[in-house]
Amino acid sequence: MAYGYWLEAEYESGFILREDSQDRSPYRAGDNFFSAIRRDSATQSGHGPLVRFSLIPWDASGQRHEIDWTALSELEHVRPVYFRRMSQTTRADGTGDAAPVCNAHGFGYQYLDANGDNIQVITELT
């Protein structure tokens, strides 16, 4: 839920892994939530393969972004991509850093094509 959006991953079994307001992995202390999606997608920890990857506005004022992961099943080494572009400035009085600001969210996937090249399909939302 950090910075206006939360992530969600749905698996074949119907299990939904949903980000909380702390951006924490439910599997491993110190990891962020997205690392849990990548790890779960790789190991399929009893839930089956990933079927949907979503970026959802937490206040329902924006558009929900989803990737139908089943449509990507023929791609080699496909994995979800999510990142935030952040900036931080010094306070006007010079006493320290102001709170970080999220300038954009990157959301999509990457895979290896037939030549072994890394292809990234990412939408940057501002």
Q: In what order do the strands lie in the sheet with 5-11?
A: 16-18, 5-11, 50-57, 65-68
Quote the pLDDT of residue 112.
Answer: 93
Model confidence at 21, in pLDDT bands (50, 70, 90)?
confident
CA distances from 107 to 25, 81, 114 (A): 18, 6, 23
Q: 70-104, pLDDT tens digit by residue?
A: 999 899 889 999 998 988 777 777 776 677 888 89
Residue 38: its H or E element: helix 33-43
Domain layout of the chain by residue ranges:
2-125
What is the model's pTM? 0.79
pLDDT at 8 over 50: yes
